[in-house]
Structure 1
Amino acid sequence: MAPLEAVLGQDDAASLRPPAFAFGDSPEMSDRLAKLVLDGEKSATSAWLASYEAEGIDIPEVGDLSIMCDGADRPLALLRTADVRKIPFADVGPEIARAEGEGTLDEWKAEHRDFFARECAALGIEFDPEGDVVVEFVEVLYRRDGV
């Protein structure tokens, strides 16, 4: 992926550079979750809806492209958003936990409750367990050589 820094269209107006991101809130978490994606064990990720709103970030849409990075912000893969669902946190089921590749539903809820609470605190907003999550299903289009 290093030689190509943009997705090229038919002309300059149709070309874009996908946004880059790393999972989680620590380099270790980023590395662990990125490895799950690259190993085919993780095909979804969840984010707190209120966090998108607080940061003024658009909710992902089907077809969006993004560059997944590791914990050192090195690009690993180009991802495409395959599906997006807005779900109340309480209604997240085992299929979402499986798609996230992070254990049982109970483990998923405990880990994500803690993560979302930390994220909300950092943004200066209150975590409400009655709130919604945005679940983004992704597919790997390209991987950097050697990963």
Structure 2
Amino acid sequence: MNSVAVPGKYHGLRSFAFGDGPELADDLLDLVIRGVKTATCCTPDEPNLSAPGERWVVLDGRGTPACVIETTEVTARRFGEVDAGFAHDEGEGDRSLDYWRRAHRDYFGRQGKFSDDMLLICERFRLIEVLDNRLAS
């Protein structure tokens, strides 16, 4: 069972893990905790759509609660409309728009969802609290 207790003030929050597998979840979580990743995106049909002010418990690749984030901005954009600033805030790879496009083409392709004009829900967030002290630096 998960060894990290979620403080009472966060009980009732929805939870999710980044990515589509344990390794990617852990890699992206590490970027969040280090303050590098402050944005993410998903398709409109995913269950983890958020609204500004909503807080989430982020899970690691094993499903253990790791941190709490708060959504600060949500916008809808087509894949080709994502700009360099958003790509940078997603924090992945070299943080360039070219890297973002390659990585997300692959990610959404694995899910069978990719198209050049696909609609994305682009979210910016801030880290509220790290729940697993082993992850804090």
If the length of structure 1 is used for normalisation, what is the TM-score?
A: 0.80
- 1:139 aligns with 126
**Cα deviation 1:1-49 (Å, max 9, x = unaligned):** 6152453xxxxxxxx5111111111111000000000000000001122
For structure 2, list consecutive stretches of 5 or more residues without a partner in the other structure. Answer: none
Q: Would you say 1:108 and 2:111 are equivalent positions? A: no
Change (3 A) 1:48 1:21: same
- 2:27 aligns with 32
- Classify the secondary structure of the residue corresponding to 1:72: coil
Change (3 A) 1:108 1:67: same
- 1:21 aligns with 16
Q: CA deviation at 1:64?
A: 0.9
**Cα deviation 1:84-129 (Å, max 9, x = unaligned):** 111111011100111000121111001101111222x3xxxx5332
For structure 1, list consecutive stretches of 5 or more residues without a partner in the other structure. Answer: 8-15
C-alpha contact 1:6 1:18 (8 A) present in aligned 2: no
Match of 1:80 among 61, 70, 81: 70
Aligned mates of 1:93, 1:127 — CA distance in 2: 18
Report the number of matched residues.
129
Aligned mates of 1:133, 1:33 — CA distance in 2: 18
Q: CA deviation at 1:58?
A: 6.5
C-alpha RMSD of matched pairs (Å) = 1.7
Aligned mates of 1:3, 1:40 — CA distance in 2: 21
If the length of structure 2 is used for normalisation, what is the TM-score?
A: 0.86
- 2:42 aligns with 47
Aligned-residue identity in percent: 29
- Classify the secondary structure of the residue corresponding to 1:98: helix
- Name the structure with the higher helix share: 1
Change (3 A) 1:96 1:3: closer
- 2:82 aligns with 92
- Classify the secondary structure of the residue corresponding to 1:129: coil
Larger radius of gyration: 1
